[in-house]
Amino acid sequence: MMPEFGGSSLLLGLPDDVFAVISRSLSPRDMCTLSLCCRSLYGLVASDKVWLTQCDKVGIISHQDIIEWRKAVASYRALCRFLVSVKPFIGIWVHQNPELGNVVYVIPGFVSVVGCRILPQELGPLGIEEGPILWAPVFEIIGDLDGSTSFFLHGREKGNDHVYPGSVKSVERNCNVLFLEVESRQQKSKLFPNKSFPYDSDKELARKLSRSHYGLSRSQRLIIQCEPKLPFSRLPFTDRRKLIDVVTSEVGQKVPRLENRLLFPRLRNDEESFQKDMALLFQRRSLLLKLCKLGQGFNWKEAPEVASDPTRLQWSEIRRILDWSSGSLNGDDNQMQSNTKKSLGGYFRAYISGIWGKSSSINGSHAHSKHGSSSRQSKHAQLLEFLGSGDTIGLSLHASKVRLSSYRAWPNMHDSQFALYKLPMRAPRADQEYAGLWGGTFGWPPRKPTEDRPGKALFFLLITYDESEGQRKLIATKILEGTHYVLHPNGSAMFIVNIDEPSQDLFPWDVDANSFPLTIKHAFAGEGIANGYGFRYPGSKPGSLFVIQNGLLAFVWKESRAVLNLQRLNLQELLKKGERVPALPPSANFSYFTKSYSNVFDCFSTASTYMPSRSVSVQGKG
């Protein structure tokens, strides 16, 4: 090959459209690497056509929506940066508590992704497709002009909607757990900035500690400053809970209802309505980003310039974290000091004493009680070490890949983590055509409520496949139940069938909901859940799964003839037709820790919503 026809000249000689097609085989990382080769290739790779192709490849939103989102960012390259960073969030996330259901589905918004909680509920006579489901906002991740991300936790205080700005700490591509954390950030190069200490004695203490580093070389001081920070997850649970509560109380911002009405566009039924939704979403996004940057006292009409960062708390603001008048830092009642408030200086003196090897306790006493063990002292020091590693603290969202055990697609969860766990959703394929999310109710025919019970409990089931001992099994795991009091544990199998074993049972009915004759395509033998709540793994009784025309499924218990009818769900479409209800208080809104077998969302399900009212019947009892 002649030199003039080799290397970058081949690519530079291609038309933009041809190079855009070729770039489909490259990843965004490959494109960035290619742009570093030379100035000419940098200009070629900077083409909007190339990055539009990359945005299409990410596959989160349609080509039409990509063009709409581009209007709010600097370039298609910036948009691709955002899409790649938030793609791991898309999907279904769950938490064990409350037992009746805590399902959060993350969908695209407008240059954002939105986490929506599906509430336990009953459906009226219009059924799943036409009867809108109830949902509440949990969090948002919004893209800025350059494609960077901002995190907003949703919550409700004193009857008003609030958002709690923060940052997206890190995102692993195959993340399966979302952690709500408090992050400590160092804003100055000093070991302990003077503004961290409100008292003269504390300033003197900081100066003494800083002087101890004067004899070190610059590289040694840099190593000390760059030491890994104490992970938030290593703090005692009570400390983590109090830190999150304090931070949310400080950074929370009331949001006007008008500006918080839409979080994502409704169904694109007509272009005029859709464009109105996009205009509202554009305005709302701009206001939230200004809120994140401008701080407390933000004026929604006239945004003043404010230097502070509302997503971070200064040391002067977190003094009261350490000034709890009762209980120790990690909630140990045995170390409670009746009514003695602990100052920031007192805690730091105890912490520094620990560094110097002194044996004084956290309140200055030299005597150790039976319960004041060194392990508890280390927990106290851990909180101080965490707070002392930076000038400010703020909310953060950490998307991590961790090793999880599971039972029939339901992850085993920690009881003391502010976390949501991702369900393994797999697209249907030829040998697993029934895999995915299904929704339905008990009773036949579908959509027809009985006279004595006008509403039917909505169930969400995740269908997965398993192969053991040469048998292929289909497992339907319950992830949401719309009753008043839980009848079946989350993660329990509503039914298990052997897809290699045809059933000889007949379907008990001849017609469907519209009185048309039924066509049964397949029938598989299996077992369905039999016992109510009371033990983790309920028993089962024989039954059959019937595959009906139009893609419907129905499991029938042989003895009782009870039937659970199911249809495949497009949850994103259902949410866009759904009705929004208010959120829970912020920390509980992310992950609800209290073990409950009743519907904790019941008080919200009849509240006024933000979406325009529709002439449909939605039973709001949960």
pLDDT at 423 over 80: yes
Instruction: Of 536, 413, 399, give the one whose Cα is nearest residue 94.
Output: 413
Compute φ and ψ for 228, nearest 5 degrees: -55, 135
By percentage, how much of the chain surpasses pLDDT 90? 37
Q: Which two tokens stand for residue 370?
A: 């039976």
H or E segment to which residue 22 belongs: helix 16-22
Question: Regarding predicted confidence, which is higher, 453 or 368?
Answer: 453
| Residue 72 near residue 83, CB atoms below 8 Å | no
- Lowest-confidence segment of 295-304, 317-326, 461-470 by average pLDDT: 295-304
Query: How large is the average pLDDT for residues 291-305?
Result: 48
Q: Is pLDDT of 195 > 90?
A: no
SS3 assignment, position 94: strand
Distance of CA 23 to the CA centre of its chain: 32
Six-digit token pair at 214?
A: 């004067």
pLDDT the model gives residue 401: 94
Beta-bridged to residue 20, according to DSSP, are: none
pLDDT at 19 over 90: no
pLDDT value at 521 more than 70: yes
Cα distance between residue 18 and residue 347, in whole Å: 65
Q: Are 73 and 147 in contact (CB under 8 A)?
A: yes
**Residue 367 has what pLDDT?**
38
pLDDT, tens only, 444-462: 887 666 666 667 889 999 9
Peptide bond between residue 137 and the one before it cis (omega within 30 degrees of 0): no
- Whether 329 has a pLDDT exceeding 90, the answer reads no
Determine which of 105-119, 148-162, 364-378 has the lowest per-residue pLDDT on average.
364-378
Q: What is the pLDDT of residue 126?
A: 64
Please check the confidence at residue 74 and state whether its pLDDT lies above 70.
yes
- Percentage of the chain modeled with pLDDT above 70: 68
CB 460 within 8 A of CB 439: yes
Pairing of strands 406-407, 392-400: unpaired
Q: What is the mean pLDDT of the chain?
A: 76
Q: Cis ω on the peptide bond leading into residue 445 (within 30° of 0)?
A: yes
Express each pLDDT in 139-158 by its tens digit: 999 999 999 999 999 999 98
- Over residues 60-74, the mean pLDDT reads 95
Residue 362 has pLDDT above 50, yes or no: no
CA nearest to 581, candidates 248, 134, 227 = 134
Residue 145 DSSP class: T
565 and 395 Cβ atoms separated by less than 8 Å? no
pTM of the entire predicted model: 0.79
Helix or strand run (H / E) with residue 265: none
Q: Which of 21-35, 114-128, 163-177, 520-534 has the highest mean predicted lDDT (pLDDT)?
A: 163-177
Work out the burial of residue 29: count CB atoms within 10 Å of its CB; fewer than 13 is exposed, 13-18 middle, 19 or more buried: exposed
- Alpha carbon dihedral 337, 340, 346, 348, in 10-degree steps, equals 60
* pLDDT band, very low/low/confident/very high, at 97 (cuts 50, 70, 90): confident
Asked whether the predicted pLDDT for residue 404 surpasses 80, the reply is yes
What residue type is 260 in one-letter code? N
Question: Contact 401/174 with Cβ under 8 angstroms?
Answer: yes
Q: Rounded to an integer, what distance in angstroms lies between the CA atom of residue 352 and that of residue 380?
A: 12
Over residues 386-391, the mean pLDDT reads 79
Task: Please enumerate in sequence order all residues whose Cβ is within 8 A of that of 15, keeping only pairs 6 or more positions apart, or say none.
Answer: none
**H or E segment and range at residue 89:** none
pLDDT tens digit string along 537-576? 678 899 999 999 888 999 999 999 999 999 999 999 999 9
In 412-508, beta strands by DSSP E: 419-422, 436-442, 456-457, 459-468, 471-481, 493-502
pLDDT confidence bin for 611, thresholds 50/70/90: very low
Burial of residue 301, with CB atoms counted within 10 A of its CB: 0-12 exposed, 13-18 middle, 19 or more buried: exposed
How would residue 218 be classed by pLDDT, with cut points 50, 70 and 90? low
Which two three-digit tokens encode residue 107? 């969908």
Q: What is the mean pLDDT of residues 172-189?
A: 83
Alpha helix stretches (DSSP H) within 212-369: 218-225, 237-251, 271-294, 344-355
For residue 290, name the pLDDT band (cuts at 50, 70, 90). Answer: confident
Residue 474, phi-psi category: left (phi > 0), alpha (psi -120 to 50), beta (remainder) = beta
pLDDT band at 372 (very low <50, low <70, confident <90, very high): very low
**In 120-207, where do the E strands start and end?**
122-123, 134-143, 149-157, 160-171, 177-185
Q: How far apart are CA 55 and CA 86, in angstroms?
A: 12
Identity at 110, one-letter amino acid code = F
Average pLDDT on 275-294 reads: 86
- CA–CA gap between residue 329 and residue 523 (Å, rounded): 59
pLDDT at 483: 87
The pLDDT, as a whole number, for residue 381 is: 47
With vertex at residue 596, the alpha carbon angle to CA 593 and CA 598, rounded to the nearest 5 degrees, is 140
pLDDT (tens digit per residue) in 238-272: 889 989 998 998 889 888 776 667 899 988 888 88
Does pLDDT of 203 surpass 50?
no
Q: Is 249 in a helix, a strand, or coil? A: helix
Residue 600 CA, chain-centre distance (Å), reads 19
Say which residue, 401 or 605, is predicted with more confidence: 401
The residues near 77 (Cβ < 8 Å, ≥ 6 apart) are 46, 51, 147
